[in-house]
Amino acid sequence: MNAPRRAAAAAPLSAFVLHRWDWSESSLLVDLFTRERGRVAVAAKGAKRPYSQLRPVLIPFQRLQVQLGRTPADAAAEVHLLRSAERAAGPPMPAGAALLAGFHLNELLLALLARQDPHERLFDAYAEALASLHGADEAGVQATLRAFELALLRGVGVLPTLDEVTLTVRALDPAQRYTLHPEAGVVLAAPGRPGVPGAAWPAIEAALRAADGAALRAAVAPWAAALRAPLRELLHYHPGSPPLRTRRLMLELHRLATRAT
């Protein structure tokens, strides 16, 4: 009688840590965003022990190479065993306002992405966004946030085509200003309300289609303030959740800064 064949080890995955929770006195549950398999929950046994090789590795914003204990045949399992994780090449962790922006990106991914649903282009956009946050000034941070929010909404299939009026499928008037509505898509901005010129939307749409992060940030940078409120509405509308924690923290920090002045 032949001995049973052992299942082949799963291939390494490119990953980022989105969030981690205490599982026991010595272990963690970790939500990973992987390029190959999307969001994956893993159990990191012993990761809290002082001598664990996982302890200094399982932190946000560091690109990792991870290997799971389950085989591809078990891909539907809710929680996988983390066999190993090591740092891969990538930029250093953001700092200051950029660090808070990075946590905002993580919360968005946790809110909008289902588990076990690969989004390779979105993974690449996230990695590029983290790199662009490093050393960015406030304008650069805001452009990166708006660009990634657009890429995320497009990646999960809820962002309409941006170079036409959604309900009429008519071309945008370059002389008019338009905004985004959670249900109606691209619409004319109300008089006196912020909007993006019709001439600017095609460049944003082209950069999204090309998955060109640098071009997308450049296209949205002049209109980051006008896009902030409508994108916030879309992001709140689709996950159907209360305001994100990082957004509440940003608002509170703004209030404190205003009082100080």
Which pLDDT band, with edges at 50, 70 and 90, does 72 fall under? Answer: very low
| Cα gap 73→59, rounded to integer Å | 28
pLDDT band per the 50, 70, 90 thresholds, residue 245: low
DSSP-based three-state secondary structure for 228: helix
Non-local CB neighbours of 24 within 8 Å, separated by 6+ positions: none
Percentage of the chain exceeding pLDDT 90:
67
Q: Could you tell me where in the chain the CATH 1.20.1440.120 domains are found? A: 97-260
Model confidence pLDDT, tens digit, residues 143-202? 999 999 999 999 999 999 999 999 999 999 999 999 999 999 999 999 989 999 999 999
Q: How confident is the model at residue 9 (pLDDT cuts 50, 70, 90)?
A: low
Judge whether 101 and 141 are in contact, CB under 8 Å.
Answer: yes
Q: Closest Cα partner for 200 from 149, 147, 162, 229?
A: 162
pTM of the model: 0.85
Fold (CATH) for 97-260: de novo design (two linked rop proteins) (1.20.1440)
Does the pLDDT at position 78 exceed 90?
no
Quick check: helix, strand or coil at residue 80? Answer: strand
Q: What is the pLDDT of residue 76?
A: 53
On the CB side of 181, CA atoms within 13 Å amount to 12
Architecture of domain 13-87: Beta Barrel (2.40)
d(CA 111, CA 31) in angstroms, rounded, equals 12
What stretch(es) of the chain map to CATH 2.40.50.140? 13-87
Please state, in angstroms and rounded to a whole number, the distance separating the CA atoms of residues 232 and 175.
Answer: 25
For residue 57, give every residue at least 6 positions away whose Cβ sits within 8 Å of its Cβ, in sequence order, or none.
Answer: 64, 85, 86, 87
